[in-house]
Amino acid sequence: MLYRKLGKTNVESSVLGFGAMRLPMVGNPGGLAGFDPNIPIDEPRAQKMIEHAVEAGVTYFDTAYGYHGGKSELFLGKALRPHRSKVMIATKLPTWNVEKPEDLERLFNEQLQKLGTDYLDFYLLHGLGSGNLKKMREMGAMEFLDRLRSSGRIRFAGFSFHDEIKVFKDIIDSFTWDVCLLQFNYYDREYQAGVQGVRYAAGHGVGVVVMEPLRGGKLADRIPAEVQALWDTAPVKRTPAEWAMQWVWDHPEVTTVLTGSSTLEQLQEHTRNAAHAIANSLTPAEHALIDQVRQEYRRMLKIDCTGCAYCMPCPTGVDIPQNFNMYNDSFLFKGAEMNQFFYNQMMTPEQRASGCSECMTCVEKCPQKIDVPKELKVVAEYFKAK
């Protein structure tokens, strides 16, 4: 495993981090089960993944209050207890659950208890952006982080981010942050914080941890033939997942890249690839190839959804990411038959796009700023017409 310095701190973190949002689950439901409290984590399989990560030298482990219906912190704390002295745990304050200043302390203590530790290495404000920045300031969240840091109950303070670059810069400038967690991949290089944000944070000494390097797995799974044909032209052969991870690691401003692996096999591939995570190692020709792949994806993609599931649960039961995923797949992989069958036969009427009530709750939550009700109408009409 390779390691990089985390911003202005004196800490070195593994270039590969472990994200505990998409752990394997009983019955292999996949998709959005990570946000369903009724589907349990497959703990024996997940434990094997933790053990592999630790043995491979991964030191950064990331979770959050709401992952796996609130069970991710419980599992990760238990799984990492024998290794606590050699790993770093990061979790996130659920900003949407803060209604009064006292909630900050209450939620933090609850998370410490769930993780079974008396301190956190990293504590992040979850999804900090234009929608909650003012509220967090009014609640004294930044001062709270400072008190936690000064008392030693956390080592480092940070935030995760899904918003526009101007908001990102405002947040960076407003507090003495240690770390930021942002979405970054070759497809989204100019989206949200993007390359500009990565460089801005690093320029201010803030450590950069990256989520969604594979865009929710979409840059690694079931590659369209047109995209695979481009990858096949490369003299150096890599899997699509390796190309995507190497592109992120090629940026010297990035310290750690999170893998949201759901299987041991996925994690093993990422730990193997991490051995080659050298900044500025991709050639100009390889960067040009990645640019070609990006343009091909952009040509084919219909709805810009990463499947993060922050829009869930839908008040009326619509499975929003699954609808968008099936719709995109119908274009990316040149075949709607299976998706049409799944939509009409395997989904309940409530889960289908046609069940949208246009309550707009999802629009407020969507990190990608998708007009969800409008796109759901398109999806419903598409599958109705098939």
Give, in order, the Cα–Cα distances in Å from 348 to each of 35, 101, 161, 207, 323.
18, 41, 33, 44, 12
Please give the model's pTM, rounded to 2 decimal places: 0.83
Is residue 386 scored above 60 in pLDDT?
no
Is residue 30 scored above 60 in pLDDT?
no
Fold of 3-297: TIM Barrel (3.20.20)
Decide if 158 contacts 126 (C-beta within 8 A).
no
Compute the distance between CA of residue 316 and CA of residue 108 in angstroms, rounded to an integer.
31
Q: Which residue has the higher pLDDT, 333 or 367?
A: 367
The secondary structure element, H or E, covering residue 127 is: strand 120-128
Beta strand pairing call for 60-62 and 154-161: unpaired
Compute the distance between CA of residue 320 and CA of residue 301 in angstroms, rounded to an integer.
16
**What is the CA angle 27-33-37, rounded to 5?**
100
- 3-class DSSP assignment, residue 297: helix
Give, in order, the Cα–Cα distances in Å from 250 to each of 281, 283, 360.
6, 10, 39
Q: Which of 386, 381, 369 is nearest to 129 (CA)?
A: 369
pLDDT band at 294 (very low <50, low <70, confident <90, very high): very high
- 3-class DSSP assignment, residue 175: coil
Percent of the chain at pLDDT exceeding 70:
96
* CA terminus-to-terminus distance, the chain: 49
pLDDT band at 49 (very low <50, low <70, confident <90, very high): very high
Q: Which of 182, 186, 188 is nearest to 200 (CA)?
A: 182
Residue 137: per-residue pLDDT: 95
Give the list of residues 6+ apart from residue 248 with CB closer than 8 angstroms, or none. Answer: 184, 185, 186, 210, 213, 254, 257
